[in-house]
Structure 1
């Protein structure tokens, strides 16, 4: 497979319509800059056709479940942190601002954070934190969920601390939101519906002289199954409804994946944040991927001028750490 450097660069540029992904990272309250260290998901369609970043991953066997579409492509920079540092992931929908809605208000579900050595290996993702349904409600209200009632209501901020005494090295933080507005049936049974996964990976380098190594974790894909009760879940289920159901409604929600690692910090509350570094909006984009076909074009505003070409893309994850290539231009 061949894909030009120009196409790869343009895949890291721009924002027109997004679902949700990480636009920035704060370290101990200090913003690291727009998209720094973030493996930005590819666009799933042309601007004129309503394309957007991070079209949800629904296929649990796809490599895209690891770090999203084109998640194997490194960001040109890595964030340096130390054990005990507070990281705040700044999730957004359309632009990096307090007025942004972060994620669609119907996209109720859990939020999760994993860490893995970079590059990932078999069973290398270790869970550091999760939050799901934290306040039940009665039909037809879905209750209070992490994605919509916590992360979105708090400016898109998702918080984690680097584990104490973690061994120095390069790691990937895999942060994720899951939306259940169509999750009452599995994608395997009905590809039009199914739970929507929004994974996003951030490159970090842990410094210091720590000695703690990560335990065995889980793989992506592989950590989630269509048989898991936390993967197929009806957030609007009610025994008062007249819908025909094959299973009884539940009043609790089992968060998918493994348990949180005992070496993770128990406290995940946020720290005071400083201002956001400019820029806060991404520039227009001209490259997208759909059904593994990468298309590049030129345009002015929303008017297309020339289609420059297409190429087929297949994810290719390295088995050894590769130093990210610096970019001369990000946006």
Structure 2
């Protein structure tokens, strides 16, 4: 049985509208682990989303080193959040993972980051549906994905990301992202298959996926962002949406029982394997936010 890992949304405390949101909770098989931001690295970016063009003062761009897990996102940082209604912008969803020695501490590495999940279009139809409901993630309040059996056992940072494309036609695609701290157990894999990327560096301002327009006559999204999903990873939907809301496993992943839990704490582990924010007496509240104008 595959373990389903999810990051759920919370609206930005400073921007109370459905367009500005963050990922603030970790779920394993639909069960919340810890409280808000306990296992999610909290960022200190005063504005979300991140943009290549016209980003406000104090924010960052996708070329900045903090594009990995967002600006100032050590586990011990705290931030309040509010409930969100879901992702209400068009655009694809990606999840990247990178192996780390200790997921509860240390700066996130630039790479290698492996794409283990992608969600594209789940409905085919007229061009106007590409502006909203055709996207698999439209209106959803979680990014959920199975842990590939092709990931070796160990600790990882998992980076969930939504690219909102409503401003892509003028170079203003919006990136909403956050990093969770996880530990994978029960697999037999010895190495991670497939290509990887550096973050920052995974996207360029000239990329067709970043500049894609949902306001023309397009009925498909062929400009897939970033590297391919690794073998054993999952693709939900398709570039055209013709197959409906279906998920497929890339290539033939070896059969293995894999499980994921919040990665182990810095203190001696108990029987439950979990990772707690380092050097903090309270849950590490850290939501990355996204959405906007």
Q: Shorter-chain TM-score category?
A: 0.5 to 0.7
* Structure 2 residue 212 is matched with structure 1 residue 236: no
* Structure 2 residue 90 is matched with structure 1 residue 108: yes
Aligned to 1:20: 21
Q: 1 CA distance for matches of 2:40 and 2:66?
A: 15
Give the Å deviation of 1:22: 1.1
Q: CA, structure 1 residues 136+265, in 2 after alignment: closer, same or farther (shift >3 Å)? A: closer
Aligned to 2:269: none
* Structure 2 residue 168 is matched with structure 1 residue 170: no
Aligned to 1:262: 231
Aligned to 1:65: 67
Secondary structure in 2 matching 1:142: helix
User: Match for 1:217 among 177, 196, 216?
Assistant: 196
* Structure 2 residue 117 is matched with structure 1 residue 129: yes
Q: 2 CA distance for matches of 1:127 and 1:140?
A: 29
Secondary structure in 2 matching 1:175: strand
Secondary structure in 2 matching 1:64: helix
Give the Å deviation of 1:36: 1.9
**Maintained 8 Å contact 1:38/1:75:** no
Secondary structure in 1 matching 2:136: helix
Secondary structure in 1 matching 2:177: strand
CA shift digits 1:168-201 (9 cap, x unpaired) = 2220001000111211022xxxxxxx11111211
Q: 1 CA distance for matches of 2:185 and 2:220?
A: 43
Give the Å deviation of 1:163: 1.9
**Maintained 8 Å contact 2:92/2:137:** no
Aligned to 1:297: none
Q: 2 CA distance for matches of 1:23 and 1:101?
A: 14
Give the Å deviation of 1:123: 4.2
**Maintained 8 Å contact 1:181/1:235:** yes
**Maintained 8 Å contact 2:152/2:184:** yes
Q: CA, structure 1 residues 120+28, in 2 after alignment: closer, same or farther (shift >3 Å)? A: same
Q: Normalising to structure 1: TM-score of the pair?
A: 0.56
**Maintained 8 Å contact 1:57/1:65:** no
Alignment RMSD (CA, Å): 3.1
Q: CA, structure 1 residues 257+75, in 2 after alignment: closer, same or farther (shift >3 Å)? A: farther
| Residue segments in structure 2 that go unaligned for 5+ positions in a row | 1-11, 53-60, 101-106, 237-245, 248-275, 286-293
User: Match for 1:325 among 256, 278, 292?
Assistant: 278
Give the Å deviation of 1:17: 2.5
Q: 2 CA distance for matches of 1:173 and 1:255?
A: 20
Q: 2 CA distance for matches of 1:253 and 1:218?
A: 20
| Residue segments in structure 1 that go unaligned for 5+ positions in a row | 1-13, 45-51, 77-93, 187-193, 239-248, 270-322
Give the Å deviation of 1:254: 1.8
**Maintained 8 Å contact 1:131/1:255:** no
Aligned to 1:153: 139
Q: 1 CA distance for matches of 2:235 and 2:168?
A: 29
